[in-house]
């Protein structure tokens, strides 16, 4: 398995310049309580690698998984890679890092 850890600055740059698709794998209640602006919700509890593959193919931006602290995003990476979906990056600090740094949330 390949895991590439991204930090907040890298994620922020990717969102700002429109090159990154941030896929939030937290549960719907977590996402609705606050999320990184520009992220899309795709909960790990109902994770379907083929749906993610279709989303990534349609979107065209660099896919990056994110969760609360970087644990579930690695699980999403494992599930995607085991299904043959080429996603290797995740936001290591996740929402807790983003929010803790005082970044804007939606």
Q: What is the pLDDT of residues 65-88, one digit of tens each?
A: 999 999 999 999 999 999 999 999
Query: Is residue 51 one of the residues assigned to a domain?
Result: yes
CATH code of residue 88: 3.40.250.10
Query: Is residue 101 one of the residues assigned to a domain?
Result: no
3 state SS for 82-95 = HCCCCCCEEECCHH
Query: Is residue 103 one of the residues assigned to a domain?
Result: no
Query: Is residue 100 one of the residues assigned to a domain?
Result: no
Q: Which two tokens stand for residue 105?
A: 């949330």
Task: Output the pTM of the full model.
Answer: 0.97
Query: Is residue 44 one of the residues assigned to a domain?
Result: yes
Which is catalytic among the residues 15, 23, 67, 87?
67
Q: Which two tokens stand for residue 50?
A: 């083929």
Query: Is residue 39 one of the residues assigned to a domain?
Result: yes
**Sheet bearing 20-24, strands edge to edge:** 4-6, 89-91, 62-66, 20-24, 40-41
Q: How many domains does the chain have?
A: 1
Query: Is residue 75 one of the residues assigned to a domain?
Result: yes
Q: What is the pLDDT of residues 13-68, one digit of tens each?
A: 999 999 999 999 999 999 999 999 999 999 999 999 999 999 999 999 999 999 99
Q: Which domain holds residue 81?
A: 4-95
Nearest-5° angle of CA 30, CA 32, CA 34?
Answer: 75
Query: Is residue 87 one of the residues assigned to a domain?
Result: yes
67 is catalytic: yes
DSSP 8-state assignment for residue 65? E
């Amino acid at each position: 398995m390949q895991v590439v850890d991204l930090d907040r600055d890298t994620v922020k740059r990717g969102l700002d310049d429109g090159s990154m698709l941030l896929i939030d794998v937290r549960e719907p209640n977590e996402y609705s309580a606050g999320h990184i602006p520009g992220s899309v919700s795709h909960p790990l509890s109902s994770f379907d690698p083929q749906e993610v593959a279709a989303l990534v193919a349609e979107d065209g931006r660099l896919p990056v998984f994110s969760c609360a602290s970087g644990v579930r995003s690695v699980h999403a990476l494992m599930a995607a890679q085991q299904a043959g979906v080429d996603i290797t990056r995740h936001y290591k600090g996740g929402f807790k890092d983003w929010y803790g740094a005082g970044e804007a949330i939606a």
